[in-house]
Structure 1
Amino acid sequence: MNESPGAVGAGRIVDTAVVREAGPVRIVDIREKTVPIQADMSNAFINFSKMTVSVLALVTDEVRDGEPVIGYGFNSNGRYAQGGLLRERIIPRVLAAEPAGLIGAHGDLDPELIWRAAMTDEKPGGHGDRGVAMGILDMAAWDLAAKLAGVPLNRLLSERARDPRTPATPAERVWVYAAGGYYYPGRGIDALQAEMRGYLDLGYRTVKMKIGGAPLAEDLRRIEAVLDVLPDGCDLAVDANGRFDLEQALAYADALRAYPLRWYEEAGDPLDFEELRALAERYPGPLATGENLMSFQEARNLVRYGGLRPDRDILQMDPALSYGATEFRRTVTMLFDSGWNPDRCVPHGGHQFNLSLASAFHLHGCESYPGIFEPFGGFADGYPIEDGHVRLPDAPGIGLEQKASLGPVLRDVLA
């Protein structure tokens, strides 16, 4: 790895190892790389064939086992890479921060202090892609903090970031569901049924499929075909990815009430709370939404004005797309204060970071993308899905390095 300007006065990177100087651990370099996701499939709104992801590495002057301690982060699928924001605004602020100002009360680099440095001179509002870029940095900062502490991330979050109303120890296993059922060129109902059977064979008990990318009658045939192959104890959720106006959303709602669905997800625009409230008044089954809300404030407005029902509906805010775990801890407190239990949350994203959050904060569960959005989707190797649940690795950090297919991508960020 080449010497970085960020290393001046803080240690120097030499042949992939860092010469440690006296004092607290310091960040000596931050690298970002844009990586393509090549997936020839569509939901009701977008095609993923040109989707990209930002992968970020926080490099420190702490050396363990002959290698620098590095924290890694990336954005969830569905939002594009954020290299411009990261390189032009966020990374320079962190590298310019006074090193002592990033050290927390525990004596190590503190993700919240890193977060504050990165948000210097940013005005309120205007979330969107900024929330995604900050989520990438924050993931890397928490991965780094857990590695420096020598503990898995779910344990560190439980110790340092949980609301006191959350159980004191992280959940040992987390409920997960298989998100798939996309629209593929030339693939029909037989292939859809085979895909869903494959998820059941992997151990999942809830599967999800896309709707809204075909006429209502065709989508209903697809739903019925999937329900036909689900055995007792398994269920189906459907996801429109924000495609419908109110008339379409209600037409689907009237048709979907005939089926035993786990939930009806994101019928309309994610910020159209009036449409959502009308849908909740019409549709008696569970609704799910929130993955495209990019901030604590938007999540709070959803709870205030969306008409959702705390006894049945599902919140899907994705910390990796909305300023990270540092912001999500505020959302958890807001939910408690608003009469919700965070166990109604099932974060979007389908990766190890959100799985750690689900464990630490005792959320209802986490999305999963078996075989999709590789190598970013999915969990650590050697931890199979068992009766719809998965355990977390005991390695320090998020456990991203425990996924063999992700290793080369992480190493390439430092090349």
Structure 2
Amino acid sequence: MLITNVRAHHIRIPYDAGVASFRQGASSISALEIVMVEVSTDAGLTGWGDAFAYVCPRTSTTAIEEMIAPQAQGQQVPDAAGIPAFMEQIQRNLHLFGRYGITMFAISALDIAMWDLAAKAKGVPLHRLIGEARRTRIPAYASLLRIGKPELIARECETALRQGYKAIKLHETTTPAVFAARQAIGPGIPLMVDLNCPLNGEDAIAFAHSCRDAAPMFLEEPVWPPEDFATLADVRTKGGLHVAAGENACTVHQFRQMMQAGAVSHAQPSVIKVGGITEYLKVTALADELGVRLAPHSPYFGPGFLATLQLMSLRDDASFVEVFSMKRAACLWRGRINVDANGDVEVPQGPGIGYEPDTAVMEQYRVS
């Protein structure tokens, strides 16, 4: 099976996040930017992947078109056993552009599409290529955008629980915000706090102490810069709380540095940033070896989300799937990816990543 074409699709789907907001500098972001890669073959099968594209969709698109497509077009599609070597060669060919950031986002997109194709060639869901499914439904946590005001945070938390979510994650940086959420949801609901890398070590330790009585399941990325694993380990040791990080890490090598430094109790590989499914699987194997729990990063709704569901179905460690708490104008897929009344997301059982994109939705919200 030969790769005949690699095409990037930039899709922009508006959303309503209520009182919350996602900001880039002074600008408020009100649409999901999705950059999908479509890999066509001479056998008529198509594979889908996506690259991280928040506020950088044109850059991710260009990386796919100018860096990834020339590497892949004309190549044989490998089977599952051959994908790691295939993708390593592409990483080697592109290493002079850096092995982090946009380059790895684009590589991630192709890798996901390769696994999608390999599973479709066998007529099985992606997880069947890797192992035996332990779960067919994954409990979801509501990943709230930043709100700021404690009274509004409490209201949004209560809304999420009514929608069926079994856990909540805040993107807040103040102690009153954390306690407002805990008071609203009660003591039995897991609560996570994502700070998005704002603090030095001393302030991060102080923040951990200040919200310890709210019993967060973990603090996520409390430290700037995120690759300062020594300081992150210090926060974990002295702060008295579990620490999660990894959404900004690319390749298993950076995760190895993080884990060996003792920086995290929870590793957070993002399949559309880390290097795709291939690197994600290396990270999970390393985490199991070193006794680190997994808490994958997945606040997106493209092929990477479906791939994450497939991968999480292989584990029975009670981990949650991250779901952005927002109302999307449309669903990109010919299938259900919403959270049900029990707070779960069903793992799709179709070939590959499980569903095919809705081409009418793609055309309606296409940018390029």
State the secondary structure of the residue aligned to 1:59: strand
- 2:128 maps to which of 152, 155, 159: 155
Alpha-carbon distance change, 115 to 46 in structure 1, aligned in 2, over 3 angstroms: farther
Aligned to 1:171: 135
Q: Which has the higher contact order (CA 8 A, sep 6+)?
A: 2
Match of 2:274 among 315, 322, 327: 322
Alignment of 1:148-297 (within 5 A): 148-158=121-131, 168-183=132-147, 188-212=149-173, 219-231=174-186, 233-268=188-223, 269-297=225-253
CA displacement at 1:192 relative to structure 2: 2.6
1:104 aligns with 2:79: yes
Q: What are structure 1's unaligned runs of at least 5 residues?
A: 1-24, 63-67, 159-167, 213-218
| Bigger radius of gyration | 1
| Contact residue 29 and residue 95 of structure 1 kept, 8 A | yes
Instruction: Report the equivalent of 2:302.
Output: none
Alpha-carbon shift at residue 355 of structure 1 (Å): 1.6
Is the counterpart of residue 340 in structure 1 residue 291 in structure 2?
yes
TM-score by length of 1: 0.74
> Residue 73 of structure 2: SS of its match in structure 1?
helix
Residue equivalent to 1:165: none
Encode CA deviations 1:315-345: one digit per residue, 9 max, x unaligned.
11112211111122222222233x325xx11
In structure 2, the partner of 1:56 is 37
Q: Is the CA contact (8 Å cut-off) linking 2:153 and 2:181 kept in structure 1?
A: yes
Q: Following the alignment from structure 1 to structure 2, what is the Cα–Cα distance between the partners of residues 137 and 48?
A: 30
Deviations 1:327-369 (A, max 9, x none): 22222222233x325xx11110132221211112556232111
Q: How many residues align?
A: 353
Give the secondary-structure state (helix, strand or coil) at the position aligned to 2:219: strand
Q: Percent identity?
A: 22
**Equivalent in the alignment of 2:68:** 90
Q: Which runs of 4+ in 1 moved over 6 A?
A: 43-46, 376-379, 410-415
Please give the alpha-carbon distance, in whole angstroms, between the structure 2 residues aligned to 1:145 and 1:128.
26
The letter of the residue matching 1:149 is K
For 2:90, the equivalent position in structure 1 comes to: 118
Residue 225 of structure 1: how far off its partner (Å): 2.1
Is 2:45 aligned against 1:69?
yes
Between the aligned partners of 1:407 and 1:114, the Cα distance in structure 2 is 33
Gaps of 5+ in 2: 300-304
Structure-2-length-normalised TM-score? 0.83
In the TM superposition, residue 223 of structure 1 has moved relative to its aligned partner by 2.1
* Mapped contact 1:239–1:267 kept (Cα < 8 A): yes
Q: Which amino acid aligns with 1:33?
A: H
The change in CA–CA distance for 1:410 and 1:147 in structure 2 (over 3 A counts) is farther
1:408 paired to 2:364: no
Give the AA of the match of 1:141: M
Q: Distance in 2 between matches of 1:55 and 1:129?
A: 14
